[in-house]
Amino acid sequence: QVQLVESGGGLVQAGGSLRLSCAASGRPFSNYAMGWFRQVPGKQREFVAAITWSGGYTYYADSVKGRFTISRDNAENTAYLQMNNLKPEDTAVYYCAAESRGVGSTRSREYDYWGQGTQVTVSS
């Protein structure tokens, strides 16, 4: 089992920045790829970004490319999502997830463990 806890969400004005953290415990963190997804009420969970187990490869949804950066610190068992130039349409609950193959995926069903989510609200 892997337990994931997100933090760092909040209310920010458009154009501002937030940094989300995802702290992992349980099985070795470095075994897993990590992903960030987001969801608004009434819509499906949407892929945001993912990073492979080593951190050597990252990929992003087109909607956040150039504004968001995913990273990880395997020594600290933590993944991050730096979000810059935030827009009102980025408002959502953000979830981190762990994927046991280590390669990451844009598909939520490929992930084995999920955090409880953290709310991000961007005002215009």
pLDDT band at 2 (very low <50, low <70, confident <90, very high): very high
At residue 69, the pLDDT reads 98
Q: Give dist(CA 51, CA 102) in Å, integer.
A: 9
In this structure, the number of other CB atoms found within 10 A of the CB of residue 90 comes to 22
pLDDT at 27: 85
pLDDT > 90? residue 1 = no
50-92: per-residue pLDDT in tens? 999 999 999 999 999 999 999 999 999 999 999 999 999 999 9
The string of pLDDT tens digits covering residues 13-41 is 999 999 999 999 988 899 999 999 999 99
Tokens coding 96: 């981190």
Instruction: Please give the pLDDT value at position 3.
Output: 96
